[in-house]
Amino acid sequence: MSRKLVFLLAFVLTGCPGRPATEAEQEDLAHYLTGLEHIREGRFGDATVSLKASLEANPERTEAHHALGDAYIGVQRPKQAESCFRRAIELEPEKYLSHMGLGHALRLQGRFDEALISYRKAARLMPESPAPHLFKAEAHEQLGDEAAAADFFAKAARLTPPEEAARPLIRSAKASAAAGDHSEAAQSFEKGLELTPDDTDAWFGLAEARVRMEDLAAAAKAYEAVTRVHPDDVVATILLGTVYSRLGNEASAREAYERALKIEPKSPRAWEGLARLELEAGRSKAAVEAAEQALAGLGGDDPYTIRAVTELLADVGDARRSSELYRLLLGENDEDPSLWLGLARQLEALGETAEVGDICRRLGDEELPPKDREWCGNRLDRDR
């Protein structure tokens, strides 16, 4: 060991550079420093060996207990980590990082309420740090309390340097959206996007929040922002077309769907969107042709689009094809009463009244909307 290191060890251990560290003290600190090095290298198993050796020599070293807790977290042994962090806190009750570590160990065991207590203590010890609030937010998410999570993500953002605040702001926005507070979500997404204007995920979140708020013009602007950053994003382009369609802007909706088809020529959702535009414009033949293109591109693995095309074909009067598709959907989910009703309506158009009666009897105990219950009741009365 070099004289320089001996001098350093003596100073750390004794606070007095005039007294060299004893051999036992040197060995203790060497194990401790080796353990820290293993943690930095991600060698957590090796770190536990070195840190245990350090604690055998000096059981009162707070930092070694804390570091051993970190190593146990690294090898996915949170119960042992909990014991280490608790011992570190016993030795040094005001140790911020040990309260944080204890919170992590408790979260990994699914003990989220207890973890929140540790994070609150850490926040009191270092009120200027955003970290405890971030982890409190995550614990609340795991408890299913999205509203509380959003509040703590927002608090973390306020404590974070402006250049780094985008991440907690956007996480706050997502938690607000999950809690159903779409207005708050939109505001947080917009604040985050001021800092990271190319964050596609945040633009998508903002657009969805604006759609939920029925602010379709703002939603369109958000989807447009995605397509400026990523011109080949077919999903954003299709959603832009859908929003334009809901705004009654047929020309822009058509342009968006056609642009999506240039990116992905067989996109079922783009074809379905075009089909709906054709139907609304009274061009039934063109609507059916576009719907068939949507079906051709499906591959049978997109129930949402299959259902949309099924309903569109029903709207244009193609009872035979739509009834076939309703049967296909029911093969995947025969517990959806709306699918059974859809099939029954198409079968009636085809004159297959016996099966219509069977379906209405099947739905007798289901909670149906009043109009659907009346429709079925009338068919059953007719059969009596």
The per-residue pLDDT for range 156-190, each reduced to its tens digit, is: 999 999 889 999 999 999 999 999 999 999 999 99
Token pair of 2 as six digits: 């070099």
Buried b (16+ CB within 10 A) or exposed e, 65-91: bbbbbbbbbbeebbebbbbbbbbbbeb
Residue type, 40: R
Share of the chain residues as helix, strand and coil, in percent rounded to the nearest 5: 80, 0, 20
Question: How far apart (Å, rounded) are the C-alpha atoms in residues 329 and 196?
Answer: 42
Sign of the torsion formed by the C-alpha atoms of 37, 40, 41 and 46: positive
Token pair of 336 as six digits: 């959806």
> Residue 134 burial (CB < 10 Å; 0-12/13-18/19+)?
buried
* Residue 140 DSSP SS3: helix
Banded model confidence at residue 315, pLDDT cuts 50, 70, 90:
confident
Please enumerate in sequence order all residues whose Cβ is within 8 A of that of 229, keeping only pairs 6 or more positions apart, or say none: 198, 200, 203
CB 327 within 8 A of CB 343: yes
The boundaries of every CATH 1.25.40.10 domain in the chain are: 1-129, 182-265
Banded model confidence at residue 311, pLDDT cuts 50, 70, 90:
confident
CB 84 within 8 A of CB 55: no
Instruction: State the pLDDT at residue 25.
Output: 66
Question: How far apart (Å, rounded) are the C-alpha atoms in residues 37 and 50?
Answer: 10
Instruction: State the pLDDT at residue 307.
Output: 85
Q: Length of the chain, please?
A: 384
CB 91 within 8 A of CB 62: yes
CB 167 within 8 A of CB 198: no
Query: What is the fold, at CATH topology level, of the domain defined by 1-129?
Result: 1.25.40
Question: How far apart (Å, rounded) are the C-alpha atoms in residues 28 and 44?
Answer: 19
Say how many Å lie between the first and final Cα of the chain, rounded: 101
Number of Cβ within 10 Å of residue 214's Cβ equals: 10
The yes-or-no verdict on residue 141 having pLDDT over 70 is: yes
Instruction: State the pLDDT at residue 64.
Output: 93
- Angle at which helices 131-142 and 146-159 cross, to 10°: 170
CB 253 within 8 A of CB 273: yes
Question: How far apart (Å, rounded) are the C-alpha atoms in residues 5 and 43?
Answer: 24
DSSP assigned state of 301? -
Number of Cβ within 10 Å of residue 245's Cβ equals: 21
Closest C-alpha to 323, from 281, 359, 374: 359
CB 50 within 8 A of CB 31: yes
Instruction: State the pLDDT at residue 7.
Output: 44
The CATH code that applies to domain 182-265 is 1.25.40.10
Backbone φ and ψ of 130, nearest 5°: -80, -20
pLDDT tens-digit profile of 109-138?
999 999 999 999 999 999 999 999 999 999
Total-model pTM: 0.75
Banded model confidence at residue 1, pLDDT cuts 50, 70, 90:
very low
CB 336 within 8 A of CB 310: no
- Angle at which helices 216-229 and 234-246 cross, to 10°: 160
User: In what helix (H) or strand (E) does residue 300 lie, and over which residues does it extend?
Assistant: none
Question: How far apart (Å, rounded) are the C-alpha atoms in residues 131 and 114?
Answer: 17
CA dist list (Å): 323 to 310, 312, 328, 373: 8, 12, 9, 20
Banded model confidence at residue 258, pLDDT cuts 50, 70, 90:
very high
